[in-house]
Amino acid sequence: MASTACFIIVSRNDNPIYEAEVGSAVKKEEAAHQHQFILHAALDIVQDIAWNTNAMFLKAVDRFNDLVVSVYVTAGHTRFMLLHDSRNDDGIKSFFQEVHELYIKILFNPLYLPGSRIMSSQFDTKVRALARKYL
């Protein structure tokens, strides 16, 4: 399990629609905005890469000091971004894929309008479970 892992889903218009600190490390006060900064900045890189590959899982696209940003881009150009300090690519990959499943379910919920914040609690719990499982 990664000591720090910050998972964010970014909508196609670059707003975070889901955020979760799934790291095992105790959450520090300033970590929150630091992680956001890093991930937000990483979006630029994603933009570069995403259009050059048709793979959904772009591996580690960006790093800040010892933190790595791995990204998974859905067809709808929603981006799953994971900020982590551990290295297991395939773990992360399968994490992303399963989250993708969940996300699609969310999308199918007619009462959820795409691009809005994901409030669903069960989605949250599932994601955290996945994180515990894979990261």
Partner 1 sequence: MAPVAPRSGDAVFANVERVNAELFTLTYGAIVRQLLTDLEEVDEVNKQLDQMGYNIGIRLIDEFLAKSGVSRCVDFKETAEVIAKVGFKMFLGVTASVTNWDADGTSCSLVLEDNPLVDFVELPDTCQGLYYCNILSGVVRGALEMVSMKTEVTWVRDMLRGDDAYELRVKLLKQVPEEYPYKDDE
Partner 2 sequence: MVDPASSFLGKMLLEEITPVVMVLRTPLVEEACLKNGLTFVQMLQPFCVFNNIDVPVRTVSDQPYRLHKFKLRLFYASDIKQPNVEAAEEHLKEVVTRAAEKDLSDLSSDPPQLDDLLAMNSESLPLWFKIFNKELIRTLSFSEHEAFDHPVACLLVVSSKDELPINKFVDLFNTNQLPSLLNDGVMDPKILKHYLLIHDNQDGSSEKATNVLTEMRSTFGMNDCRLLCINSAKDGSEERIGSLWTPYKTDTSPSQDLGCLLNVNDVSEIKDLMQDLSSKHIIPHMEQKIRVLNQQVSATRKGFRNQIKNLWWRKGKEDTPDAPNGPMYTFSSIESQIRVLGDYAFMLRDYELALSSCRLLSTDYKIDKSWKRYAGVQEMMALTYFMLDQSRKEAENCMENAFSTYLKIGSTGQRNATRCGLWWVEMLKAKEQYKEAAGVYFRISSEEPSLHAAVMLEQASFCYLFSNPPMLRKYGFHLVLAGNRYYMSDQKKHSIRTYRSALSVYKGNSWSFIKDHVHFHVGKWYAFLGIFDVAVKHMLEILACSHQSVMTQELFLKDFLQNVEKMGKTYEVFRLQLPIINMSSLKVVFEDYRTYASTAAANVRESLWQSLEEDMVHSLPMSRSNWLEPEAKSSKKDKDSNVCVVGEAIKMDIEFKNPLQIPISISGVSLICQLFPRSEVAECELTEKDAHAHPYESASGEKNDAEELRKLTSNWELNSGVSSFALSEVVFSMRGGETTVVQLTVTPKVEGVLKIIGVRWKLSDSVVSYYNFDSDHVKKKNIKGRKKSSQSSSKNLKFVVIKSVPKLEGCIRHLPGKIYAGDTRRLVLELKNQSDISVKNMKMKISHPRFVIPGSLEDLNVEFPSCLEKNSNSEHNDVQPSSSKQPKSSLFSFEDAAIQGGTTFFWPLWLRAAVPGRISLYLSLYYEMENLSSEMKYRIFRIHYDLEVLQSLDLSFQISPCPSKLQEFLVRMDVVNRTSSENLQLHQLSSVGHQWEISPLQPNEAICPLQLLKAGQALSCFFKLKNCRKSSMFEGSISFHSLLQGHDVRLGPQGSDKALFDVSGSALADFHHHERLQQGKSIQGQQGTVDFILISQLPKNRADHGLEGQSDLPQLFSHHSCHHSIASTSPVWWLMNGPRTVHHNFTVSFCEIRLGMAIHNSSKEAISIRMSTLDVTSSDGQLSDVAAAAQDPISSENQGGWHNVSLGNDIKVTSDALGTQFGKSSSDVMAPFVWAASSSTRVELEPMSTTEVPLKICVFAPGTYNLSNYTMHWEVKLLGVPLSAGDRTRQLSGRSPGHPYYITVLQSP
* 14 to 33: interface string for partner 2, x by CB under 8 A: xxx------------x--xx
CB 48 within 8 A of CB 62: no
CB 2 within 8 A of CB 86: yes
Task: HSE, CB side, 13 Å, CA atoms: give it for residue 98.
Answer: 17
Residue 126 sits at the vertex; the CA angle it makes with 47 and 132, to the nearest 5 degrees, is 85
What does 14 bind: partner 1, partner 2, none (CB cut-off 5 to 8 Å by kind)?
A: partner 2
Q: What is the smallest separation between the CB atom of 11 and partner 2, expressed in angstroms?
A: 9
Whichever of 55 and 129 has its CB closer to partner 1, that residue is 129
Q: What is the smallest separation between the CB atom of 17 and partner 2, expressed in angstroms?
A: 9
Whichever of 53 and 122 has its CB closer to partner 1, that residue is 122
Where do contacts with partner 1 occur on this chain (CB under 8 A)? Answer: 105-106, 108-113, 119-120, 122
To 10 degrees, the CA torsion angle through 32, 43, 106, 5? -40
Helix (H) or strand (E) holding 48: helix 31-50
When asked if residue 47 is in the footprint of partner 2 (CB under 8 A), the reply is yes
Which parts of this chain interact with partner 2 (CB under 8 A)?
14-16, 29, 32-33, 35-38, 40-45, 47, 65
